[in-house]
Structure 1
């Protein structure tokens, strides 16, 4: 009996420990092990019934365990020492983040592929740039490369360039790639092609761009107007080339360039100016342009050394070495050196020098070598083979084959674009250049009307051209070389002049009042077929006449 009693007591103790363990698991286990909430509480109730049959006096029989269908009222008091149980809820399963497997796409470009009339620079500072905008944030920690080509008449030729890649934000962080060409400006009147290596172009999740990037577009010339300075010609001539006193020839050859000192304003260059260790510049105070005193290949205050001869394709990137000089702080502390435009290089020669055409006190050791410009002749099949240059011997503006290897580079720097061309039609047959403060005859001599369609052109020799403009009175005169050249606008072709303000202009040559320093029997003319210039004999009857006066 005693053994049976002991076994009975041991069985009751074992059952109680078992129920207590199930209770702990039911109360706490669901929080730690969510799958335990599936344990049905009826199993515990069955164990409790078994204990009550074995020992009716057990405390488990007094409190019991509610079955699965019994709810405990919120206000029911718990037995002393027991912890009220909170309702068991199933936790929400953790959300699953889907990986980004979508490759990025190119959604816009500047310039547009296939576009024309693209300016050589834009933005502030004004630079030649390509802008690529993508559909999402991109990985900015990769290196990129781009191949750049310039077209001749038959194909695209690779040219040297060291582009700079800069990421910016448009719609998403770092979704826009800016590519700045090391030429600083795009070449004018040219067809360009850009191919970007997409191997390292990927979004922030590592998805690579799948579509190759290739842009082709054509450029135009910059629309800017420069203040006009005098030619520095101070001697008067007749048609035979003799050198009389200006007052003596004023009746027969009136208001020629040599008699109008400082017209429309004095020429003002200064240099060489020391602007770095052994680095010199020459400043044009009228146009605001800053020139390297020496050509590429020369150095020092006297520009010692041999100037480097390059073809046009090589010349495009030649000034980049100036921008990278002095550990990339720039030659003479400037980082915007580039090849000059046709319009800019035309301001260099003062026209009272010959062989070389530049003032040797401002540009020492200058030679008669031709100076390349950034400006191509045109984007047609013929013009793509040629680029404009300054004849270093005479100052002639001419175009030559881009493959010519005997030309040199003189770099220019400009802090900002000059004012855009601005004309006003006065409604009385005259046009005002608002920047240069000059008033022009809308039509060449012999034509009239709002569209210059009435009458016929009247070519003249140089002496008669001077007289015809002077006969208009009120200060009308034949323009000097720099004044007439300012009307050339190579955004237009044949004629190279704005047709809105100067309609029905003949593309032929027009007289200037400036005598050639090379041969005083010749005077300078400007051809409005393309903006070229050269001296011709003063007795020629081919050139036309467009008169000018200072703005009242």
Structure 2
């Protein structure tokens, strides 16, 4: 269960002491800004905040907690990581006590990517001037997978609204309620759709991480989205990998150990969970399927099949190459996570996956990279292999149901 509980509890006391200190003077603000080098309460510079999931699921329903010998054991709620902990600083900022990041509480209006880049130079909030646009890894640290949407309609946000203001799309101007996407600073190294420059963002209204075109392809005008500025812990999102020489990789930044290579097999969600729980590798038998936030931590957004002829992951890892469903080579698969994604009239049927190859979709009969390598979407947990792949959603996401698994364990 939560092996970091002691570190976490001690760390909270430290943070409370720090934030009880008066920093009204210019000198104290400057000193604090200079000290934001990555020391956080968890003891890890890239601490993964838990997904928040506490319910247990079968392929289509909420169930009681499975025992170790039951089907569906090992899903997200089975394991408790660093539980979310925030402090409302009362000045329009919120501190994440796990990651050491401080966030803008209310994002204001949508803006273009270029306008956000220009704004950040003079951005001042809470008497701090060292704000930045978050990377996609920083932004994703706020994701909470207890959220839910219903098609185009918002239901429960994928962020803690006790601390953060999360707007939804404005239907009066033709937007959907789920058009509340938040952009990061992370640009896709490839191109999506029919050659669109693309920036990764997370949608705290519908729970997906995708690349969104920087410009409207119909007229070339800048697209606009929300931005939530961040400061502190400038090393957050940076991995420190060690090849252990036994088929495992340790990330000292997160405290996680990873299976170096997938086993080349694909699974539905239930079978994938069972495979992960049964794995013995590197003299360890406590492997599991990673949750969404854990798996996103090893995505390398500087790499893609288009630009590096590789999956979006550090070269220390191996991904099984695949053919896309038109038979084209040079592609890589989807990887299951243990996290659910609740959407639509049957909200318990899907789980989260990450695309380490291109995030393919079919639009107007054309197979395209619609969301970028490193995107996070969702697949049905179960189904006949003969029924897949098929397509889903406005960008025709290719759904497979049978996906790869890369297992993880806690180092401590």
TM (norm. structure 2) is 0.66
Aligned counterparts of 1:471 and 1:505: Cα–Cα separation in 2:
20
CA-to-aligned-CA distance 1:76-123 (integer Å, 9 cap, x gap):
xxxxxxxxxxxxxxxxxxxxxxxxxxxxxxxxxxxxxxxxxxxxxxxx
The answer to whether structure 1 residue 348 and structure 2 residue 142 are counterparts is yes
**How far 1:548 sits from its partner (Å)?**
1.1
5+ unaligned residues in a row in structure 1: which ranges?
1-223, 298-307, 323-329, 446-456
Assess, with a 3 A threshold, how the Cα gap between structure 1 residues 365 and 267 changes in structure 2: closer, same or farther. closer
**How far 1:416 sits from its partner (Å)?**
3.3
Assess, with a 3 A threshold, how the Cα gap between structure 1 residues 350 and 289 changes in structure 2: closer, same or farther. same
Residue 444 of structure 1: which of 262, 274, 279 is its match?
262
The answer to whether structure 1 residue 528 and structure 2 residue 356 are counterparts is yes
Aligned counterparts of 1:250 and 1:269: Cα–Cα separation in 2:
36
Aligned counterparts of 2:160 and 2:237: Cα–Cα separation in 1:
27
Residue 405 of structure 2: which of 537, 545, 552 is its match?
545
The answer to whether structure 1 residue 479 and structure 2 residue 294 are counterparts is no
Assess, with a 3 A threshold, how the Cα gap between structure 1 residues 510 and 429 changes in structure 2: closer, same or farther. same
The answer to whether structure 1 residue 259 and structure 2 residue 71 are counterparts is no
**How far 1:491 sits from its partner (Å)?**
2.1
For residues 355-394 of structure 1, the aligned pairs below 5 Å read: 355=154, 356-367=157-168, 368=178, 369-378=180-189, 385-394=197-206
Instruction: Indicate the RMSD between aligned Cα atoms, in angstroms.
Output: 2.3
Aligned counterparts of 1:415 and 1:256: Cα–Cα separation in 2:
30
Assess, with a 3 A threshold, how the Cα gap between structure 1 residues 415 and 509 changes in structure 2: closer, same or farther. closer
Aligned counterparts of 1:266 and 1:471: Cα–Cα separation in 2:
26
> Does structure 2 retain, via aligned residues, the 8 Å contact 1:376–1:383?
no
CA-to-aligned-CA distance 1:122-148 (integer Å, 9 cap, x gap):
xxxxxxxxxxxxxxxxxxxxxxxxxxx
**How far 1:247 sits from its partner (Å)?**
3.0
Assess, with a 3 A threshold, how the Cα gap between structure 1 residues 528 and 244 changes in structure 2: closer, same or farther. same
CA-to-aligned-CA distance 1:204-228 (integer Å, 9 cap, x gap):
xxxxxxxxxxxxxxxxxxxx96211
Aligned counterparts of 1:250 and 1:318: Cα–Cα separation in 2:
54
**How far 1:504 sits from its partner (Å)?**
4.2
What SS is found at the alignment partner of 2:111? coil
> Does structure 1 retain, via aligned residues, the 8 Å contact 2:137–2:237?
no
**How far 1:359 sits from its partner (Å)?**
1.4
> Does structure 1 retain, via aligned residues, the 8 Å contact 2:336–2:405?
yes
5+ unaligned residues in a row in structure 2: which ranges?
1-43, 149-153, 169-177, 217-222, 306-310, 322-331, 358-372, 383-399
Aligned residue number for residue 288 of structure 1: 100
**How far 1:384 sits from its partner (Å)?**
6.2
Assess, with a 3 A threshold, how the Cα gap between structure 1 residues 461 and 432 changes in structure 2: closer, same or farther. same
CA-to-aligned-CA distance 1:496-533 (integer Å, 9 cap, x gap):
1011x203454211000111133221000011121100
Comparing both chains, which one has the higher relative contact order based on Cα–Cα distances under 8 Å and sequence gaps of 6 or more?
A: 2
CA-to-aligned-CA distance 1:460-503 (integer Å, 9 cap, x gap):
1000000011112521111111111111011222311011x203
What SS is found at the alignment partner of 2:63? coil
Aligned counterparts of 1:318 and 1:465: Cα–Cα separation in 2:
45
Residue 503 of structure 1: which of 285, 299, 318 is its match?
318
**How far 1:267 sits from its partner (Å)?**
2.3
For residues 178-327 of structure 1, the aligned pairs below 5 Å read: 226-240=46-60, 242-247=61-66, 251-261=70-80, 263=81, 265-271=82-88, 273-274=89-90, 279-295=91-107, 297=108, 308-322=109-123
**How far 1:321 sits from its partner (Å)?**
4.4
Aligned counterparts of 1:436 and 1:482: Cα–Cα separation in 2:
11
Aligned counterparts of 1:293 and 1:397: Cα–Cα separation in 2:
20
The answer to whether structure 1 residue 469 and structure 2 residue 276 are counterparts is yes
What SS is found at the alignment partner of 2:77? helix
**How far 1:403 sits from its partner (Å)?**
2.0
Aligned counterparts of 2:183 and 2:232: Cα–Cα separation in 1:
17
Residue 251 of structure 2: which of 403, 408, 433 is its match?
433
Residue 228 of structure 2: which of 410, 415, 419 is its match?
410
What SS is found at the alignment partner of 1:246? coil
For residues 31-46 of structure 1, the aligned pairs below 5 Å read: none
TM (norm. structure 1) is 0.50
Aligned counterparts of 2:66 and 2:272: Cα–Cα separation in 1:
18
Aligned counterparts of 2:68 and 2:235: Cα–Cα separation in 1:
42
**How far 1:343 sits from its partner (Å)?**
1.3
Assess, with a 3 A threshold, how the Cα gap between structure 1 residues 420 and 255 changes in structure 2: closer, same or farther. same
**How far 1:313 sits from its partner (Å)?**
2.1
Assess, with a 3 A threshold, how the Cα gap between structure 1 residues 427 and 509 changes in structure 2: closer, same or farther. same
> Does structure 2 retain, via aligned residues, the 8 Å contact 1:371–1:389?
yes
